[in-house]
Amino acid sequence: MTPTARILMCPPDHFGIHYEINPWMRRERPADAEAAAEQWSALCAALRAAGAELALLDPVPGLPDLVFTANAALVFRERAFVSRFRHAERRGEESVDAEWFASNGFEVERLPDTLFFEGAGDALFCGDTLYAGYRIRSDIQAHQWIARRIDRRVIPLELVDPYYYHLDTCFCPLTSSAALYFPPAFDAYARTALVEQIPTLIEVEPDEARRFACNAVVVGRTVVTNTGCPRLHARLRAEGFEAVETPLDEFVKSGGSAKCLTLRLDGEESTRT
C-alpha cells in the first residue's frame, strides 16, 4: 500500500465523442454513457484498492475530454504547469484546470502563449529526468521552457505515429530505472535515447499497445491497465509488480485509457529512488 498516492480524476458525466482530434475518435462511434460511468468507477475502485486517495475535478458540460486529467497540467511538487491545448476543442479546459489547482494549494504556472503543451500526457519523469513527447500535440520548446523553470534535464522524444499522439500512450515509467514503451511510436533518435537512458525498458507489442498497455497507472508496486494486455501483465508479474486490468473501452474510443484518466498530484513512484 502507498497511502500517500494522490490522484486527480474527473467523473465522465459529460464525456463523449463530440469531435475528432485523434485517429481513435469517430463521431459515428459514440461512447455509451452508462458503460463509461461504470468503467470509470471500476478504475477508481482499482486505484483505491492499490492505496490511492482520489481528488475530484467537477465535470463541466461542453468539455467532454475534461475526464482526461493527465492533460490538465504537469505537476512538479507544489507547482502546476497548466496545459495549452493544440486543438481549440479542448482549450475551454484550461481555465477549469487552472482554477482547480489554484484553489487546491498549487502554484499555477502558465507557459508563453505561443507554445502548446498538454501536461502529463506528454511529460513524464523517470528518475530526475523529464521525458517529453513532442510534435503531434506539445511543442519541443514548451518542454525546454519547463525544464529551465524546474531545473531538470529534459529528453525530448519525437512521436511519429498519430495513433500514439501523446507520450503516455506509448511510454510509462514504472520506477526510476524501469519503463514500458512501444518502439514504433518514436523516431530512431528517441528510441536510442530511451535505450541509453533507462536500464530496464520493457517493450510492448503492437496488439497490446493498441489496447493502451503503455497507458498504465502505477501506484506503489501495482500497475493498472485496460484489459487485453496479458503478455505485458505476465512480464510485470515476473518483474515483481502486481498487474491489474479493468475494462476501459469507452475511453479508448476517445484515444484514452487508464493513465489518461488520472493525474498524480504527489509525484510519481518513478521519481523516487
Candidates 17-25, 146-154, 155-163, 236-244: pick the segment binding ligand ARG (CB under 6 A).
Answer: 17-25
Report if residue 60 touches ligand ARG, rule: CB under 6 A.
Answer: no
Q: How remote is the C-alpha of 73 from its chain's centroid? A: 10
- The residue among 51, 36, 30 whose CA lies nearest residue 217 is 51
Report if residue 16 touches ligand ARG, rule: CB under 6 A.
Answer: no
Binding mask 168-187 for ligand ARG (x = CB under 6 A): xx------------------
- The residue among 217, 229, 230, 218 whose CA lies nearest residue 261 is 217
Nearer to ligand ARG, 22 or 177 (CB): 22
Nearer to ligand ARG, 246 or 254 (CB): 254
CA distance 215 to 167: 9
Among this protein's residues, is 166 annotated catalytic?
A: yes
**Amino acid identity, residue 129?**
T
What does the block give as the cell for 27? Answer: 463521431
- Of the residues 10, 166, 170, 172, only one is catalytic, namely 166
Which position among 68, 101, 106, 186 is part of the footprint of ligand ARG (CB under 6 A)? 68
CA distance 248 to 225: 8
CA distance 171 to 211: 13
Among this protein's residues, is 126 annotated catalytic?
A: no
Q: Are 216 and 223 in contact (CB under 8 A)?
A: yes
Report if residue 71 touches ligand ARG, rule: CB under 6 A.
Answer: yes
Note the residues at the interface with ligand ARG (CB under 6 A).
21-22, 25, 65, 68, 70-71, 90, 121, 166, 168-169, 254-256, 260
